[in-house]
Amino acid sequence: MSDRRNVETLLRAVREELRAEGPDGAGYSDFMITDALNRALDDLSGAFTIRDTAEFETEEGKNHYDLTKLTNFSGIIYDIIRVEYDNYIINGSLVDEYVSSSVKHEGEVREWFLWGNTLTLIGNVKEGKNVRLWVNRAPKPLGDSPDQAPETPRYADEALISYAVSVCYRESKEYERANYHFGIFQHKKQELIMRTTPQGHRETAAQVQDDYWGPFKPARGFIRTDNNPGGRYR
């Protein structure tokens, strides 16, 4: 694949792979292939979280903010690392604490919590205060622009392409080829997860052994369970 890496080159790579096994790879729409690539991105998103920042301004008395409308976060937000309100760090809170609180919208803004992609500020929100976020989010889905580059690293492209090829073959009811390419995707996915997992975590993770002790051989004759039948000290 060329150094230029975007939606167009991924689409071309999928079609070339389809042509390698059949007479024509042009029978699938760009929309269908792009949708398949986005489904692959969703599947891999847990291994490729994106660290990002964003800012927005508050409205008087408004405590709930849909981050997908106020920021460039178009994917799932996994967690918020840090929140600043009016240049002050505020702490995260639990939903139960917010629900049970009798002073949700009183006093200074002091805490926040995330529910889905909605950020809730706890306290009396003032007009025009700056909120700055540091988050871990999923990669942005690929859109209609052919020049958009995926946020996943280049070494994930083979997995994305294999998944899209599998979807195309399944659409054509060529299930054997579809399963073959989906198997490649699953294999590449495991490689990617191992590659993105820190070495220290891998070394301490639980592992299933591939060898076991053989069956114990019974002893010959009568097995005595009481090794001191007379009760005397030895």
Tokens, residue 210: 């591939």
Q: What is the pLDDT of residue 105?
A: 77
Same domain, 183 and 115: no
How far apart are the C-alpha atoms of 19 and 25, rounded to whole Å? 5
In a domain, 69, yes or no: yes
Same domain, 149 and 40: yes
Question: 77 and 57 in one domain?
Answer: yes
Residue 135: closest CA among 40, 188, 186, 71: 71
**Structural domain for 164, as ranges:** 7-47+143-197
Overall domain count for the chain: 2
57 shares its domain with 132: yes
Q: Is residue 213 part of a domain?
A: no
The residue among 137, 158, 187 that closes a domain is 137
| Same-domain pairing of 32 and 78 | no
Query: What is the pLDDT, as a whole number, of residue 213?
Result: 47
Indicate if 58 and 133 belong to the same structural domain.
Answer: yes
Intervals of the chain under pLDDT 50: 1-2, 199-224, 233-234
**Does residue 127 form part of some domain?**
yes
Give me the pLDDT at residue 207, please: 46
Same domain, residue pair 103 and 70: yes
List, for residues 31-62, the tens digit of each pLDDT value: 999 999 999 999 988 788 888 899 999 999 99
Predicted local distance difference test score (pLDDT) of residue 182: 95
Burial class (CB in 10 A: 0-12, 13-18, 19+), 84: middle
Q: Which of 172, 167, 154 is nearest to 38 (CA)?
A: 167
Q: CA 183, CA 80: separation in Å to the nearest integer?
A: 34
- Tell me if 216 is assigned to some domain: no
Where among 137, 152, 168 does a domain terminate?
A: 137
Q: Do 107 and 126 lie in a common domain? A: yes
- What's the confidence (pLDDT) of residue 26? 59
pTM, 2 dp: 0.69
